[in-house]
């Protein structure tokens, strides 16, 4: 069985190597393919964030909450 995991943080999945899942990978029962989304970025800094959507007006006058 093959699992493809798309992630921004592939190092977060390192503990899997030392668990029951790691044993299954060693015994070739499953295959885990970690894909770093940043590898497909067109930005030279590997930025993957999109432009902000919503959140107030362009001139900086944000609605203030009454507390």
In a domain, 51, yes or no: no
In a domain, 12, yes or no: yes
In a domain, 55, yes or no: no
Residue whose entry in the numeric block shows the structure tokens 């432009």: 51
* 42/25 Cα distance (integer angstroms): 32
Output the pLDDT for position 67: 58
Domains contained in the chain, number: 1
DSSP 3-state assignment of 32?
strand
Residues 6 or more apart from 28 whose CB is under 8 A from it? none
- Residue 13 contacts residue 34 (beta carbons within 8 Å): yes
DSSP 3-state assignment of 31?
strand
In a domain, 19, yes or no: yes
In a domain, 45, yes or no: no
What string of pLDDT tens digits covers the 67 residues of the chain? 999 999 999 999 999 889 999 999 999 999 999 999 999 988 888 888 877 777 655 555 555 666 5
In a domain, 54, yes or no: no
Domain hosting 11: range is 2-40
Output the pLDDT for position 49: 82
Output the pLDDT for position 53: 76
């Amino acid at each position: 069985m093959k699992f493809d995991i798309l992630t921004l943080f592939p190092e977060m999945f390192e503990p899997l190597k030392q668990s029951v899942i790691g044993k299954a990978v060693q015994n070739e029962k499953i295959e885990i393919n970690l894909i770093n989304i940043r590898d497909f970025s067109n930005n030279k800094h590997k930025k993957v964030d999109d432009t902000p959507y919503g959140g107030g007006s362009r001139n900086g006058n944000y609605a203030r909450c009454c507390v």
